[in-house]
Chain A
Amino acid sequence: MASGGTADSTTGLSRTLASDNWPQRILSFASEPLNSEQEAKVRAFASILMIHLSSRAWIGALGTDPINLRYVAFAIPLTLAMMAVLLGRHVRAAFFLATLTQLVICITTFPEIANHRYLETLCIAALCSFDLSKSEERATLLEFLRWSLVIVLFHTGLQKLMYGTYFDGQFLGYATATSDRFALFFQFFMPSEELERLQSQVPLEPGSGPFAVPHLTFLVISNAVWIFELVVPLLMLWSRTRTWATIAAIAFTLSIQMGAHEFMFGLLFTNMGMLFFTRAYNRWLIVPLAVAYLYLILATIGVAPWPEGMFIN
């Protein structure tokens, strides 16, 4: 790692070729030329992740009536850890505390726990495990986090392919029938009679359906989802297509997650996705995202406006 702002010309590929270390060879598929931006990039990622973890715990604590004291107990150490990371004091201890808290959350709420909680825990455990003051360790951490995102995104597509409910649009048809937020989006991609037919299936009972939607535009979108999720992660690994594939992945995932009201996963994905850019653009996101998370907390307690019936998750 070049320090003091000078770029090192050593590339991930040359590191790969120079090494007979098989794990490094695998990790290097997600590498980039060592450069002076990596330190800022990793630190910005860590800051945003800590804000994310702390906010999520407070939303879990304050989003119920009465207040969920168990989540308050999780939110306090995560907030202390966040402050330490943002101030740059006792950072290793803060990562350790946050990892421990996340593990306790996973264990005590298993199995009723969202999948992105595991991904968050993986991220913070990775930050805890690598020495961020060493350039080689930072580079390996970046490779690990990039690979993690690639695998997760690839699996979301692969699983849709294996379950087979997107070929004829039946999953999205069901979602459109039973969920206003899906109907709001997909009403533009099917005739109004089809939308009425789907929504007339509710309330559900045995025999309700069919939910397959025989309309070309809808089927194109339904199948584009899983194809995109399978192909784009591979393009994010290839250095020539990485930038555009990353922009597409972030835009795609954010729009889907916002549509599905899975704000937390959308924000976590964005934070991880920003690691694919060579430049540390994510440092410019710390303040806006901190404001966004603060807004979500304020909306949770009813101080900031929020659409009625829309949950914060």
Chain B
Amino acid sequence: MAGRNVHQLSLARKQQVAVIVLIGLFVWPLLLRGLVYQFDVSPWRFAGFSMYCVPKRLVNATLHQMNNAPIELEPGSTADRALTEFGGSTQTWGPHKPASTLWKTLRQEQPDKGRLLVIVRIWELDRSTSRIVQTMHRYAEPNR
């Protein structure tokens, strides 16, 4: 049994493991701060203990044709849910998350449209001005 094996470790070895875990617990949030800075991942997630440091981002993902003309999706449809889910994952993982998994689902509901474009608008609190700023990220479907 795994539990029994753990208890067979000497106390000194358990203390070593305990301190290594504690060092990890201390260092990881600092590393995550770097990831937030570099890749815009959410400071609210990933055991960084930085909740309530910045407001959660507000994310809105919409579907367009390449000329920016919006495409309405049926609310609650598979494509609509996939788009909302992608927006949510952008909130967590940051805007650098590729949209590659999204195209197949969207294409199934929009078989007749040309190349598709997903626009993600992110609203967040800008620390220097203390105001809400918007950033926009465009994800174009690969050439078919």
Contacts and interface: CB of A to CB of B under 8 A. Distances in A.
B113 to A, nearest CB: 29
Contact of A155 (B26, B93, B130): B26
B49 interface: yes
Nearest to B49: A155
Interface stretch (A136-144, A235-243, A291-299): A136-144
Interface of B: 1-3, 6-7, 11-12, 14-19, 21-22, 25-26, 29, 33, 43-55, 58, 92-93, 123, 125, 127, 129-134
B104 to A, nearest CB: 23
Given A111-B93, A162-B33, A171-B53, 19 more contacts: A22-B19, A23-B12, A26-B19, A96-B2, A115-B45, A115-B47, A136-B11, A147-B22, A151-B26, A152-B25, A152-B49, A159-B48, A159-B50, A160-B52, A163-B53, A163-B127, A204-B58, A210-B129, A210-B130
A289 B125 CA distance: 38
A209 interface: yes
A278 interface: no
B123 A204 contact: yes
Interface string A159-187: 11011110010110111001000000000
Main secondary structure of the interface of A (DSSP, over half): helix
A86 interface: no
B25 A137 contact: no
B45 A112 contact: yes
5 contacts: A122-B21, A155-B50, A163-B53, A168-B130, A170-B125
Contact of B131 (A118, A136, A165, A211): A211
A245 interface: no
Contact of B125 (A137, A152, A165): A165
A209 B26 contact: no
B49 A156 contact: yes
Contacts of A148: 22, 25
A271 to B, nearest CB: 17
Contact of A115 (B7, B21, B49, B134): B49
Main secondary structure of the interface of B (DSSP, over half): mixed
Contact of B7 (A131, A171, A173, A208): A131
A263 B56 CA distance: 19
Contacts of B58: 204
A211 B130 contact: yes
A83 interface: no
Contacts of B92: 111-112
Contacts of B16: 23
Contact of A129 (B6, B29, B51, B133): B6
A95 B54 contact: no
Contact of A171 (B11, B21, B54): B54
Contact of A209 (B1, B44, B130, B134): B130
A17 interface: no
Contacts of B134: 206
Contacts of B133: 206-207
A171 B53 CA distance: 7
A113 interface: yes
Contacts of A168: 130
A122 B7 CA distance: 17
